[in-house]
């Protein structure tokens, strides 16, 4: 059985909802999934997973400070060749930037295989809520990305 981990940073809970939706979609495809907040991950255990899904909220046009700190820790483990997917939550504006883009770039730089270009869940305000249909969309994406 494939093993996956969904790692997320969240401030108001919106990114956690998306992370859990992705995990649910993967579980429906028979994947064993752990869903963990970035500051609670033991990076040394990441070698046990086949697939890493990593996401966070877009802050100041890019990756949040807690997620940047987590991504820096990834440099200490050998995850080269593992499959990966990046996601974020952000405003619906081309000016918003994208944490997913920065996360994906870091994962590529670590030698990971990106299975699908990063995706963004849209939030309506700085604290949310998520736009209608976002959780369902990311559950579908979760069902697609683990193959």
**pLDDT tens over the chain, length 147 residues:** 699 999 999 999 999 999 999 999 999 999 999 999 999 999 999 999 999 999 999 998 999 999 999 999 999 999 999 999 999 999 988 788 999 999 999 999 999 999 999 999 999 988 899 999 999 999 999 999 976
DSSP, collapsed to helix, strand or coil, labels residue 95 as coil
Residue 147's pLDDT is: 64
Q: Which of 3, 72, 7, 14 is nearest to 37 (CA)?
A: 7
Q: Are 110 and 76 in contact (CB under 8 A)?
A: no
Please state the domain count of the chain.
1
User: pTM of this prediction?
Assistant: 0.96
CATH number of the domain where residue 75 is located: 3.40.50.360
Residue 56's pLDDT is: 98
**Is the bond preceding 60 in cis, omega lying within 30 degrees of 0?**
no
Residue 93's pLDDT is: 85
39 lies in which domain range?
Answer: 3-145
List, in sequence order, every beta strand (DSSP E) within 9-140: 32-37, 51-59, 62-63, 83-90, 113-114, 119-122
Q: Are 46 and 79 in contact (CB under 8 A)?
A: yes
């Amino acid at each position: 059985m494939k093993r996956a981990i969904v790692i997320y940073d969240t401030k108001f809970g919106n990114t956690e909802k998306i992370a859990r939706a992705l995990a649910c979609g993967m579980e429906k495809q028979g994947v064993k999934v752990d869903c963990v907040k970035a500051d609670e991950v033991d990076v040394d255990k990441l070698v046990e997973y086949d697939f890493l899904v990593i996401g966070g909220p877009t802050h100041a046009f890019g990756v949040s400070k807690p997620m940047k700190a987590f991504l820096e820790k990834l440099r200490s483990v050998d995850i080269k060749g593992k499959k990966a997917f990046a996601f974020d939550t952000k405003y619906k504006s081309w000016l918003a930037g994208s944490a997913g883009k920065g996360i994906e770039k870091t994962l590529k730089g670590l030698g990971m295989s990106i299975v699908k270009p990063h995706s963004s869940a849209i939030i309506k305000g700085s604290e949310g809520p998520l736009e209608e249909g976002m959780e369902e969309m990311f559950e579908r994406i979760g069902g697609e990305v683990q193959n």
